[in-house]
Amino acid sequence: MLKRTWMRLAAALLAAIANFVTVPNAALAAAPLHHDQAPGFYRLKVGDLEVTALFDGPGVFDVNWLNGEKTKDGVLKALHDDPHLLDVADAGYLVNTGKQLILVDAGSGTWFGGGKFGHLVSNLRSAGYTPEEVDLVLVTHLHSDHIGGLTTQDGKIVFAAPYIKAGKWHTFSDSRQIVDGMQIVPLRGHTPGHTGYELSSQGKNILFWGDVMHVQRLQLPDPKVTVVFDVDPTAAAVTRDQLLRKLASEDVLIVGPHLLFPGLGRLHKEGGGYRWAPVAFTDQWEEK
């Protein structure tokens, strides 16, 4: 009798344990999926400068935007093995100098992209700032994926009073001093007036290079690859070659709005091309 009682008790316990195991699994399977992501910004320190990368949206570079049929054919074949070869991004960058809040490029806004772009302002707010606080907008060039975010589609100004009417829109020469500690870097070939901005603080340098590069996984190994948006493809390739060679030998933090987000890193020479060393993500604010 005692043996039979213990067997019944053991069976009851096993049944209870089985229920305990299966019920939580069923509950977990019924939990809703979450499709939202973390805000698209990344912040780091460069000397005394606070630099915040602001994601405007993701994109895929169209193979037909590449120059040269041989290049296109090679990329089309490579896409069969690597469908993410042409992945790109669009971003702007906020620099807090302690005296001024400077935005370098404003992203695409909502002018195209079917809703994929236009997230820069919301990410700016998530980063703790408002558009009204921006003192100065530096534009690398006048393509819509860099200036579209300056206005809304109904013509409202995003970052200041109407720029031209208020006398807020200014061109400049290569030698003009716009911001303390900033050097204007002419980057000829992509568009007339295509300009980079190099800021220095406490012996640290950071270069915002605009559209020196569009597709990092193609143009880093082969800097001669050009795109249809280059007004002068030959000059653009020469500029890229000279700049990449220089940057690979210097400790300069590079900012590329079309590099995979956050588009911050350094260059190293590798064979006939270059290797990108992105900044390592950290959730700590490092005082260096």
Q: Is the pLDDT of residue 129 over 70?
A: yes
pLDDT tens digits for range 230-240: 999 999 999 99
**Mean pLDDT (the chain, rounded):** 88
Average pLDDT over residues 205-216: 97
Q: Is the pLDDT of residue 18 over 90?
A: no
State the Cα angle at 188 between 182 and 194, rounded to 5°. 55
- The Cα 49–Cα 71 span in angstroms is 40
pLDDT tens digits for range 131-143: 999 999 999 999 9
Contact 225, 66 (CB under 8 A): yes
Contact 145, 105 (CB under 8 A): no
pLDDT at 114: 76
pLDDT tens digits for range 155-167: 788 887 657 767 7
Q: How many CB atoms lie within 10 A of CB 194?
A: 24
- Look at strands 101-104 and 182-186 and give their pairing: unpaired
Q: How many CB atoms lie within 10 A of CB 276?
A: 18
The H-or-E segment that residue 88 falls in is: strand 87-96
Structural domains of the chain, with CATH? 39-278 (3.60.15.10)
